[in-house]
Amino acid sequence: MGAGIDYGNLDEGRHVNYWALDRTLQRELRRVYDPTDFEWAEPRLEEFGELIGHTVADNADYIDDHGPELETYDEYGDVQNFVRYPAEQRENERAVYEAGIVADAFEAPPGRDEPVPFSHFLAMLHLLSYADAGFGCPVAMTAGAALVLERFDEDDLEGYYHGLVSRDYDGLIEGAMFLTEEQGGSDVGANETTARYDEEADCWRLTGEKWFCSNIDAEGTLALARTEDAPAGTDGLSMFLVPHGDPEGGVLTVGDRREFEGAPPGEALNDQLYRRLKDKLGTISVPTGEVEFDKTKAFLVGEREAGFRQMTEMLNLERLANAAASCGVMGRALLESRVQAATREAFGKTIDEFPLMREDLVGMTVDYEAATAYVAEVGRLFSERERARRNGASRDELDDEYRLLRMLIPIAKLRTGRMAVDTTSYAMEIQGGNGYVDDFVTNRLLRDAQVLPIWEGTENVLSLDVVRALERENAHEPFMQTVEERLEAVTHPALADAADTVASEYEEVTAALVTLAEADPDYVQLSAKRLAHYVFEVFTASLLLEEAQADLEDGDGRTALVARQFVMTELETGEARGITGGDRTVLEAFEAIVHHAPVDPETVAETVTADD
Ligand SMILES: Cc1cc2nc3c(=O)[nH]c(=O)nc-3n(C[C@H](O)[C@H](O)[C@H](O)COP(=O)(O)OP(=O)(O)OC[C@H]3O[C@@H](n4cnc5c(N)ncnc54)[C@H](O)[C@@H]3O)c2cc1C
């Protein structure tokens, strides 16, 4: 068992190795990877954590002040749709894509016979988001677009697929997804963009306007549009690949674009207008803008009028990626807070010696562990399903995983997005006045985090999605089975009280599910968000207890403290807000929980003091 981490030795949460410092992520990945995958992944994550903690983090700070700029027209008034990126952003892109963040999930990397599970992609995204959650957006959409082409394209778009999964930066194209129109972001069925087949050009042509287009100049953009005579609503939407370049010139890779030494000539461009970039609060590294399609050339992806269903596959990965990014942002905020609390003095002591600050840091750490454990678990289920599907398993064979994921993915996104905002907001306060100032990273972390609950579906919209998963897929069945199995496995006496609490809350959440199955639609909607959070809490509590049980058996009592603290704060309501109860756990467990000091299992039942 290693020693605790001395955050007082660090100056800031930068110029460090994010992987080496993140024992929570390490524990979770060791749990969800199979041992040979972990052996392969560990040194690569170590190297990636070093890269993100130094070059990428430094560049990300610069990019926040000097983000991409759009030059829609050239000096003669001709459309050029040129997005100018700072050199620092190009450096980050090259380093991160060439580390295999997308490629490894689709094509066997050197030294392996098959691609790496998606858990690895999520882990890299988690680490990347310590430095730049904005850049996480194009990375996630590149993987999402590749997943859609892998599943639904019948080789017509092979060149685009190869660009999306390219490990070589010069051969890369990035993905994007254009769904939102001014009249409908949540209500995608209100999309009005039309698609008509052009016999002469032998391609589709899109006409309409997209209102929020992140990674606006991606070559591998997937957009939804309605073909002639298609029905209203989501059932009438088809999916199209809409390249940045004129497809007659072939796939326009990063390397091809660089050869133009500036904007590509007009004839190399597709027929569309990038109207303007949004002047956003955060995520500056990803250019988000408005696009007008004007008979824009496009390729149909998969089946006509199956666009929304196909897009759901991409959205699932995007939402999971958003959750991983939320965890990364929380991880950075927590690291900055730990360092600040261990080094900043007030009233003659470092501020982490004060009881209130100890309570804050324990709370933030437990939130981070809960979010990371949940996302790693959902990532594991997602990875297993994708691996089985690639190996030919049918939908029926994957039914339980499918139904469980259908409910757990929207919850992952909605809960962690909210936690990222709360954690970064509080991390800013821990920095004091400096935290509010642009020179300090907490300022950017909060600005970046604020979009995490909005894009890819708001908290309300995702809560309604959870209810739909229950109504249409009976998603509660695999959920209940999973929680019951976990609770049965928790036998250690140190976990008995917490396990009793979770078992009783499990009964309550089950009763809530029964009530909602019979309730009128308004009442179901009214309860949807509370239910989604409740499911997160019960599921995560059972997961943390199961992990705590395993760690106790392996001689470490720290996870037991984390699990008990999570259960206490999320599922118990102490009398008089806990004040009359005299509980001092956060003070006694501070070293163990916040600094990862080892805990002897023998001491966990009666005392929570760390070994050292
Ligand atoms: C920085 C940024 C980048 C983006 N990038 C992209 C992109 O690349 N591609 C893309 O397609 N979109 C993108 N979006 C758009 C984003 O996905 C939408 O803004 C989001 O889904 C919400 O849609 P909306 O803006 O139309 O809001 P609305 O759908 O109008 O929602 C407004 C409010 O109403 C609530 N609401 C809506 N319906 C219900 C309901 N039934 N019950 C209760 N409450 C409800 C919502 O929760 C929200 O609070 C981006 C947005 C931002 C901010």
pLDDT above 80: residue 426: yes
Residue 231: what are its φ and ψ, rounded to 5°? -65, 165
Indicate the fold that domain 172-305 takes in CATH: Butyryl-CoA Dehydrogenase, subunit A; domain 2 (2.40.110)
Pocket lining for ligand 1, CB < 6 angstroms: 177-180, 184-187, 212-214, 280, 283, 288, 451, 454-455, 457-458, 460-461, 464
Token pair, residue 591, equals 């070293």
For residue 585, how far is its CA from the centre of ligand 1 (angstroms)? 41
Q: What is the C-alpha to C-alpha distance for residues 585 and 582, in angstroms, rounded to an integer?
A: 9
For residue 459, how far is its CA from the centre of ligand 1 (angstroms)? 10
Report the share of the chain in percent with pLDDT over 70. Answer: 99
Identify the CA nearest to 60 among candidates 283, 336, 318: 283
pLDDT above 90: residue 1: no
- pLDDT (0 to 100) of residue 395: 82
Banded pLDDT at 612 (limits 50, 70, 90): very low
Banded pLDDT at 168 (limits 50, 70, 90): very high
* Helix (H/G/I), strand (E/B), else coil: 152: helix
The average pLDDT across 217-231 equals 96
Test site for ligand 1: of 186, 311, 448, 523, most ligand atoms within 8 A of the Cβ = 186
Q: What is the C-alpha to C-alpha distance for residues 101 and 125, in angstroms, rounded to an integer?
A: 8
- Residue spans of alpha helices (H) in 217-347: 254-259, 307-343
Identify the CA nearest to 86 among candidates 64, 67, 65, 72: 67
Beta strands at 220-227 and 175-178: parallel, antiparallel or unpaired: parallel
- pLDDT (0 to 100) of residue 401: 86
Token pair, residue 417, equals 């997005």
The residues spanned by each domain of the chain are 172-305, 475-582
Q: Are 100 and 128 in contact (CB under 8 A)?
A: no
The average pLDDT across 584-611 equals 84
Token pair, residue 216, equals 């606006």
pLDDT above 70: residue 2: no
182 CA closest ligand 1 atom index: 26
Q: Are 169 and 254 in contact (CB under 8 A)?
A: yes
Report the share of the chain in percent with pLDDT over 90. Answer: 90
Test site for ligand 1: of 413, 454, 462, 522, most ligand atoms within 8 A of the Cβ = 454
- pLDDT (0 to 100) of residue 610: 53
Residue 69: what are its φ and ψ, rounded to 5°? -125, 145
Q: What is the C-alpha to C-alpha distance for residues 400 and 397, in angstroms, rounded to an integer?
A: 8
For residue 562, how far is its CA from the centre of ligand 1 (angstroms)? 35
Q: What is the C-alpha to C-alpha distance for residues 390 and 394, in angstroms, rounded to an integer?
A: 10
Burial tier of 267 (Cβ tally within 10 Å: 0-12, 13-18, 19+)? exposed
